[in-house]
C-alpha cells in the first residue's frame, strides 16, 4: 500500500471561479487505495469530450476559464488532477512518482470513464505525458482533436538553461511556494486565485509530486519515457486529425521556440496562436484560447490534407 496524504476538503471551499463538484475514483487498476479526483461537467453524450491535462505545479483549477467556454459550446469536460496535485491523493515518497506512474494513471482513467471523441487539451507536463497517450492502442481510437499550449515531447535532450535553472530551484526549495510562483508568472492574478493554487498543499509534506516533476523531465536519452515519446513523435508526424496550438510568448522554457518545434512535429497543424503578453500558464487567458480553438475547429482548420 502506497502511503499517501489527502488534502482536507475544506481547503477547496469558496475558490474564486470554481464551483465544480468533485468526482472521485479509488479502484483504478494498478492504483488501488489511491483516490483520484477529476472534474466531469457537461452532457455525457456530447459530440466532443475535452480532456484537460494540467502540469507542474498546478491542478484542474488552471483550466477554469477554458472549462466555461467548452461547456457553453455543448461539450463534456473531464479535467483530472494528477496524483500529487489538486484533490487527488498525494503519495508521500517522491520515488513513487515516475513517468509511467502518471501516464498509466491517465490511460486507466480514460478507460474507466470510457471517454470517446476526445479533444486532447494539454500544457506543460500535461503534454509531456498526454502527447504520448495515442500510441496506446486503447487510446488512439478515442482521439479526435488536439489543442496544445506551452508544451512538447521530451526526447532526451535538455530544453536549455532556463529549464535547468528551474529544476535546480525546485530541488533547492522543497516547500515550493506555488501560489507565489503563479502570481509572479501571472501578475494580474488576484490574491484569492493565487491562494487557490496553494489549496492542495497544506504544508511541504504534500508536495512530493511537485518536487518530482522537474526531476522526471527526460533530459537524457536513457531516462524513462524517452522511447515512448519518440514513438509519439512518429504518431503526430502522421496525424490526420484537427489540431490547434497556442503559446504564451513570455514563457522562458516552453515558449515560442518550443511551440514552433511542436508545430513542425504535428502534421497539418496551423501556426500557433501567439499571446504576446501571456506566460507559461497560458490557461489564465484560456477563454481567448478556447474560443479561438473552437473557431478553428469549426472552420476545418488544423486538419491535415
How much of the chain exceeds pLDDT 70, in percent?
Answer: 99
pLDDT over 90 at 87, yes or no: yes
Q: 305 lies in a domain?
A: no
Q: Which of 54, 124, 136, 303 is catalytic?
A: 124
Is residue 173 among the annotated active site residues? Answer: no
Q: 304 lies in a domain?
A: no
What residues contact 246, with CB distance under 8 A and at least 6 apart? 147, 148, 149, 259, 272, 273, 274, 275, 282, 289, 292, 293
Work out whether the CA dihedral 132, 138, 141, 145 comes out positive or negative.
Answer: negative
- Say whether pTM exceeds 0.95: yes
Q: 145 lies in a domain?
A: yes
DSSP per residue, 241-257: SBEEEEEETT-SSSSHH
pLDDT of residue 304: 66
Band (303; pLDDT cuts 50, 70, 90): confident
Is residue 251 among the annotated active site residues? Answer: yes
Q: 141 lies in a domain?
A: yes
Pairing of strands 23-25, 36-41: antiparallel
Q: 92 lies in a domain?
A: yes
CA dist list (Å): 175 to 59, 178, 210: 17, 9, 9
- Calpha distance 89→166 (Å, rounded): 25
Reported as a single tens digit per residue, the pLDDT across 179-207 is: 999 999 999 999 999 999 999 999 999 99
Q: Give me the mean pLDDT over the 212-231 stretch.
A: 98
- Domain limits at 133? 4-298
Going by C-alpha positions, the residue among 127, 146, 281, 147 that lies closest to residue 218 is: 127
Q: 89 lies in a domain?
A: yes
How much of the chain exceeds pLDDT 90, in percent?
Answer: 97
Q: 303 lies in a domain?
A: no
Going by C-alpha positions, the residue among 47, 56, 58 that lies closest to residue 18 is: 58
Q: Which of 251, 260, 277, 303 is catalytic?
A: 251
pLDDT over 60 at 305, yes or no: no
Q: 114 lies in a domain?
A: yes
- Calpha distance 268→266 (Å, rounded): 6
Going by C-alpha positions, the residue among 261, 212, 211, 256 that lies closest to residue 236 is: 261
pLDDT of residue 211: 98
> Average pLDDT over the chain, rounded to whole?
97
pLDDT of residue 48: 98
CATH number at residue 113: 3.40.50.1820
Number of domains in the chain: 1
Reported as a single tens digit per residue, the pLDDT across 42-56 is: 999 999 999 999 999
User: What count of residues does the chain have?
Assistant: 305
Is residue 95 among the annotated active site residues? Answer: no
pLDDT of residue 1: 83
Q: Which of 37, 54, 102, 280 is catalytic?
A: 280
What residues contact 140, with CB distance under 8 A and at least 6 apart? 134, 235
Amino acid at each position: 500500500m502506497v502511503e499517501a496524504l489527502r488534502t482536507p476538503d475544506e481547503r477547496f471551499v469558496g475558490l474564486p471561479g470554481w464551483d465544480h463538484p468533485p468526482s472521485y475514483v479509488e479502484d483504478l487498476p494498478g492504483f488501488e487505495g489511491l483516490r483520484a479526483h477529476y472534474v466531469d461537467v457537461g452532457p455525457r453524450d456530447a459530440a466532443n469530450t475535452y480532456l484537460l491535462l494540467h502540469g507542474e505545479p498546478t491542478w484542474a483549477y488552471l483550466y477554469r476559464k477554458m472549462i466555461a467556454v467548452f461547456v457553453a459550446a455543448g461539450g463534456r469536460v473531464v479535467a483530472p488532477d494528477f496524483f500529487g496535485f489538486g484533490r487527488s491523493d498525494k503519495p508521500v515518497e517522491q520515488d513513487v512518482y515516475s513517468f509511467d506512474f502518471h501516464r498509466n494513471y491517465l490511460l486507466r482513467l480514460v478507460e474507466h470513464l470510457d471517454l470517446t471523441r476526445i479533444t486532447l487539451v494539454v500544457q506543460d507536463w500535461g503534454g509531456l505525458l498526454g502527447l504520448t497517450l495515442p500510441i496506446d492502442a486503447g487510446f488512439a481510437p478515442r482521439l479526435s482533436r488536439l489543442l496544445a499550449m506551452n508544451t512538447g515531447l521530451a526526447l532526451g535532450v535538455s530544453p536549455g538553461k532556463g529549464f535547468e535553472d528551474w529544476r535546480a530551484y525546485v530541488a533547492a526549495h522543497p516547500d515550493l511556494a506555488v501560489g507565489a510562483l503563479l502570481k509572479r508568472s501571472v501578475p494580474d492574478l488576484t490574491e484569492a486565485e493565487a491562494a487557490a493554487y496553494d489549496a492542495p498543499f497544506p504544508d511541504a509534506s504534500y508536495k512530493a509530486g511537485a518536487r518530482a516533476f522537474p526531476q522526471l523531465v527526460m533530459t537524457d536519452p536513457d531516462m524513462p519515457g524517452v522511447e515512448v515519446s519518440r514513438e509519439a513523435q512518429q504518431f503526430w508526424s502522421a496525424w490526420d486529425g484537427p489540431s490547434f496550438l497556442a503559446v504564451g510568448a513570455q514563457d522562458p522554457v516552453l515558449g515560442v521556440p518550443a511551440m514552433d518545434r511542436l508545430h513542425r512535429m504535428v502534421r497539418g497543424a496551423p501556426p500557433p496562436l501567439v499571446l504576446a503578453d501571456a506566460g507559461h500558464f497560458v490557461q489564465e487567458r484560456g477563454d481567448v484560447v478556447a474560443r479561438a480553438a473552437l473557431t478553428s475547429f469549426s472552420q476545418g482548420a488544423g486538419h491535415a490534407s
